[in-house]
Amino acid sequence: MATVNGATLMARSLKQQGVDYIFGIVGFPVQGFAADAQKAGITYVGMRNEQAASYAAHAAGYLTGRPQGCLTVSGPGVIHAFAGLANAKQNCWPMILIGGASPVYQNGMGGFQEERQVELAAPYCKYAHAIEHVHRIPYYVNQAVRHSLYGRPGPVYLDFPDDIIRGECSEEEVVNVAKVPEPPRTMADPAAVEAALSALESAERPLVVVGKGMAWARAEDEVREFIERTQLPFLNSPMGKGTMPDDSPLSVGAARSTALREADLVLLLGARLNWIMHFGQPPRFHKDVRVIQLDIEPTEIGANVPAEVGLVGDGKAVVGQLNRALDNRQWFYPSVTPWRELLKGKADANMAAVQPMIDDDSAPTNYYRAFKDVVEWLPHDAIIIGEGANTMDIGRTQMPNRAPRHRLDAGTYGTMGVGLGFAIAAAVTNPDKPVVSVQGDSAFGFSGMELETMTRYNLPVKLIVLNNGGIGGGLHPVPEGRAAPPGNLTYGARYEAMLEALGGKGFYVEDPKDLRAALDGAMAVDGPALVNVALNPRAGRKPQQFGWLTT
């Protein structure tokens, strides 16, 4: 009678469920399993730290629309990957963490790297379970993938003990399961759809906020039709960027603060009123703002601010409902209103305020001057990764996105260090697209060793490090007799030379006049390239009325 072992059955089950990529690090007890995954047709990417691997896995999940895998050794390996689980949970992105585990028959005995992995993973997951029989592996993989994908997406955990990996069962015993179909596209109550449109018609200063939930839902065609037909002013959230093109004339991204503060009605499409949206509360929002909310997660409706209308359902399906309901109405938001004029005036003023910095050619450069060359050089279809405090915030305002799911950043959790893992995921899952990562020197450092991964797989990632020698900028030189500030990093550190040493191509730019040539040189390279740009440590953002995320 034919038998199958746990490793082979796990590989087969993952492939059956559309897990096409696994990012991980091998060791006890999973070394053989990674090779079995390759045999089953899964692309395995061997990384240098489980943290970066776990970041790569959920970025790959967001980009492909199915949970992708992260594989770790037992104990410390699993713990390192919790960083990615937590980040995925906050971002509402799918992933499946497969944690090697010490053998079940040693439970409680103090086995090698023994840890209560399922228990510890649970708070960061939608679903966490140990596999206790070889023949039930397909059952658990089906469960895990379904939980990850359905409803609000998120991470899941499977504990994969050594004796299950090596254990065998007969093929007849194997539990048969179906492939988890695409998530059901649930629709909203038709009465709520009408109520939402009536509310919009009654608003004087309406605003649509497009979040990354819509990018995840692949709702771009519906959202574009809706905005086009209603002519409503809109704002993309940081990773919602590109769902509506940033260069649309209806975008009020350049007047973000004013748009949020003065809107009398906000239609939230797959975006939460959390810290990124300033909780929907004064002083960043109008105290009487009316809120209409579309979300797949019912408990999100009314969070932080009561919602006048809740549209619970899948973003693509529900915006489709809104569009169909528009057929019976002759309404669109007029082209000339005081609201549009206010927003236009503010956007123009904001752009004028940064122009002197864009035009400032002094060396070392400021952020805006550096981004000027980056923007002119960026291919329109690039997947852009941004992280670092000022680097990410200014980059978000300066680098436009024209397509959905082409912007990855620190996200809902504000995680620094995701960049290299995200860039690897983008390059592996989108081999036909340019991948550009713009990071601060601090953000870069968290996972800098992943340069070796990029070089080993010859991934054509173009990395730009805006290097101001510190976390939020360093103090250089440090005055005699004074301790260096806690956020200081080495000013002028040659990060590009690290990549050169590993076999990639590096460029160091001290004067902005040399930046464009370096960027062109990087793009001409077949594999990874890093452009290390010395930044004036005192360069910052234009003065802000409020703290984070203001333009």
What residues make contact with ligand ADP under the rule CB under 6 A? 91-92, 152-153, 211-213, 216-217, 237, 239-240, 270-272, 274, 276, 295-297, 300, 314-315, 412
Interaction partner, residue 47 (Mg ion, ligand ADP, none; CB < 5-8 Å by kind):
none
User: Dihedrals φ, ψ of 505, to 5°?
Assistant: -120, 135
Closest distance of CB 475 from Mg ion, Å? 12
Helix 6-16 to helix 137-149 angle (10° resolution) is 30
| Closest distance to ligand ADP from the beta carbon of 271 (Å) | 3
Nearer to Mg ion, 53 or 465 (CB): 465
Q: Which residues bind Mg ion (CB under 5 A)?
A: 440-442, 468
With H, G, I as helix, E, B as strand and everything else as coil, classify residue 296.
Answer: coil
Name the binder of 173 from ligand ADP, Mg ion, none, CB < 5-8 A by kind.
none
For Mg ion, the closer of residues 161 and 440 by Cβ is: 440
Query: Which listed option, Mg ion, ligand ADP, none, makes contact with residue 439 (CB within 5 to 8 Å by class)?
Result: none
Measured at the alpha carbon of residue 429, what is the angle toward residues 423 and 430, in degrees to the nearest 5? 85
- C-beta atoms surrounding 110 within 10 Å: 7
What is each CA distance from 450 to 264, 268, 299, 497, in whole angstroms? Answer: 46, 37, 38, 14
From ligand ADP, Mg ion, none, interface partner of 315 (C-beta below 5 to 8 A by class): ligand ADP
Residue with tokens 């906020």: 209
* Rg of the Cα atoms in the chain: 24
Cβ-count burial of 172 within 10 angstroms (0-12 exposed, 13-18 middle, 19+ buried)? Answer: exposed
The encoded tokens of residue 462 equal 């173009």
Task: Pick the closer one to ligand ADP by CB: 114 or 297.
Answer: 297
**Closer to ligand ADP by Cβ: residue 271 or 519:** 271
Q: Which is nearer to Mg ion, 10 or 416 (CB)?
A: 416
CA-CA distances (angstroms) from residue 468 to 193, 464, 489? 49, 13, 8
Contact between 149 and 64 under an 8 Å Cβ cutoff? The reply is no
Q: Which run of H or of E encompasses 70?
A: strand 69-72
Side chain identity at residue 288, one-letter code: D
Q: How far is the CB of 326 from Mg ion (least distance, A)?
A: 47
| The two three-digit tokens of residue 525, written as one number | 């390279």
| 294 vs 461, beta carbon nearer ligand ADP | 294
- Select 63 or 539, whichever has its Cβ closest to Mg ion: 539
Position of minimal CB gap to Mg ion: 440
Tell me the closest approach of the beta carbon of residue 148 to ligand ADP, in angstroms.
Answer: 12
Name the minimum Å distance from CB 135 to Mg ion. 52
Q: Which does 216 bind (CB under 5 to 8 A by kind): Mg ion, ligand ADP, none?
A: ligand ADP
Contacted by 213, from Mg ion, ligand ADP, none: CB < 5 to 8 Å by type: ligand ADP
**Nearer to ligand ADP by C-beta: 188 or 466?**
188
Dihedral sign of CA atoms 426, 429, 430, 431 in order:
positive
Residue 476 identity: H
- Residue 209 Cβ vs ligand ADP, minimum distance, rounded to whole Å: 7
Distance CA 2, CA 17 (A): 23
Cβ-proximal residue to ligand ADP, closest one? 213
Partner that binds at residue 239, options Mg ion, ligand ADP, none, CB closer than 5 to 8 Å by kind: ligand ADP
Residue 317 Cβ vs ligand ADP, minimum distance, rounded to whole Å = 8
Nearer to Mg ion, 134 or 389 (CB): 389
Nearer to ligand ADP, 51 or 236 (CB): 236
What is the rounded CA–CA span in Å between residue 257 and residue 250? 16
As measured in angstroms, the least distance from the Cβ of 52 to ligand ADP is 22
Tell me whether residue 300 or residue 441 sits nearer to Mg ion (CB atom): 441
Please report how close the Cβ of residue 414 comes to Mg ion at its closest, in angstroms.
Answer: 16
CA atoms within 13 Å, Cβ hemisphere of 161: 23
Task: Provide the minimum distance between the beta carbon of 440 and Mg ion in the complex, in angstroms, as a whole number.
Answer: 4
In the complex, what is the shortest distance from the CB of residue 315 to ligand ADP, in angstroms, rounded to a whole number? 3
412 binds, among ligand ADP, Mg ion, none (CB under 5 to 8 A by kind): ligand ADP
452 interacts with, out of Mg ion, ligand ADP, none, CB within 5 to 8 A per kind = none
Shortest gap between Cβ of 129 and ligand ADP (angstroms)? 23
Q: How many CA atoms lie within 13 A of 486 on its CB side?
A: 0
Among residues 146, 185, 157, 183, the alpha carbon closest in space to that of 57 is found at 157
Distance (Å, whole) CA 173 – CA 513: 68
Cβ proximity to Mg ion: between 233 and 440 the closer is 440
What does 440 bind: ligand ADP, Mg ion, none (CB cut-off 5 to 8 Å by kind)? Mg ion
On whether the CB atoms of residues 136 and 13 are closer than 8 A, the answer is no
Cis status of the peptide bond prior to 460, with omega within 30 of 0 = no
Whether the CB-CB separation of 266 and 209 falls below 8 Å is answered with yes
CB of 1 to ligand ADP, least distance (A): 44
Burial class (CB in 10 A: 0-12, 13-18, 19+), 97: buried
Residue 294 and residue 267 in contact, taking contact as beta carbons nearer than 8 Å? yes
In DSSP terms, 461 is beta-bridged to 435
Report what 468 binds from Mg ion, ligand ADP, none; CB cut-off 5-8 Å by kind.
Mg ion
Q: What six digits make up the tokens of 381?
A: 């279809």
266 or 370: CB nearest ligand ADP? 266
Residue 320 identity (one-letter amino acid): G
Residue 270 partner contact from ligand ADP, Mg ion, none using kind-dependent CB cut-offs of 5 to 8 Å: ligand ADP
User: For 548, phi and psi rounded to 5 degrees?
Assistant: -65, 145
Q: Which does residue 274 bind out of Mg ion, ligand ADP, none, counting CB within 5 to 8 angstroms by kind?
A: ligand ADP
Amino acid at 518: A
